Amino acid sequence: MNLTTEQVEQWRAQGYLHLPAVFTAAEVAAMHAECDRLLASELVHDDNLRTRFRGHPTLGKVVEKFDPVTDVSPVFAAVAQDPRILDPLRRLYDDEPLLFKDKVIFKPPGAAGYAVHQDWTWWQVFPPQNLASVMVAIDAADAANGVLELAPGRHQRPLTPIGELRSLTDAEVAALGLEWVPVETQPGDILIFHCLAPHRSGVNTSTRSRRQFYPTYSAGCHGDLWAAHYEHYRWYVERGLSEAERERLFLK
């Protein structure tokens, strides 16, 4: 898939790029089935770092995401290495994209949204140049089920103090005067967004899930950072745990 000059310019100016109908209906159906398989697997339990849970207003708690997922899912591993994702990134990076991290976010009906943040806030030990995520739409996303919203052109610098790992406060968002664009997507679409692009999403108030696959890529000039990222991820999660909790936490 070759990007046009206009698409490259849009990426540079806005910090994100929406590419519709990249994956076929059959490929999306395979991702649906894989999500069901993962949620029913023995990997889902409290002591597994990769299966993150979140409070739910009626269900108590639900699986929020699998992070990472490509090492336990041949389906998502293949999607992450698909030329229809890698070729646009090669054009944007002028370098070979390498997988940096990956996750599936499930967001079932009733699930909460995410406050305004920049992904790089949690990746500050890694270079932000040519570090971007690709959202692969498994379900349709719209205002009702918590569509991803981005602030165009605000991807030039960190918006929270360096060293602080948190979302932006309401006061910070108001002071910045961020303008939001909801990027509605259909199954099979992809959305590429810079690691400094501010984004948020709302509560899923619909009766539909909003499942999305997020592979993130760094530039080849920085080397293979996947293992280093997940060592840092483990450190970040374990900071607030007791010694006994840390001992039983694992990624399998």
Q: What are the pLDDT digits (tens) for 103-161?
A: 999 999 999 999 999 999 999 999 998 999 999 999 999 999 999 999 999 999 999 99
Q: pLDDT band at 227, cuts 50/70/90? A: very high
Domain boundary assignment for the chain: 5-239
**Residue pair 223/139 in contact by the 8 Å Cβ criterion:** no
Residue 165 CA, chain-centre distance (Å), reads 16
- What per-residue confidence (pLDDT) applies to 57? 86
- In whole angstroms, give the CA distance from residue 237 to residue 153: 31
- Residue showing tokens 């293992």: 227
- What per-residue confidence (pLDDT) applies to 1? 80
5-239, which class in CATH?
mainly beta
For the full predicted model, state whether its pTM sits above 0.75: yes
Tokens representing 139 are 């379900």
Residue 246 has pLDDT above 60, yes or no: no
- What per-residue confidence (pLDDT) applies to 4? 96
- What per-residue confidence (pLDDT) applies to 236? 77
- In whole angstroms, give the CA distance from residue 17 to residue 137: 14
User: HEC states along 57-108?
Assistant: CCCEEEEEEECCCCCCCHHHHHHHCCHHHHHHHHHHHCCCEEEEEEEEECCC
Tell me what the mean pLDDT of segment 239-244 comes to. 67
- In whole angstroms, give the CA distance from residue 129 to residue 42: 37
Residue 92 has pLDDT above 70, yes or no: yes
DSSP code at position 185: B
Give the mean pLDDT of the chain: 94
Encode pLDDT of 49-74 as tens digits.
Answer: 899 898 888 888 899 999 999 999 99
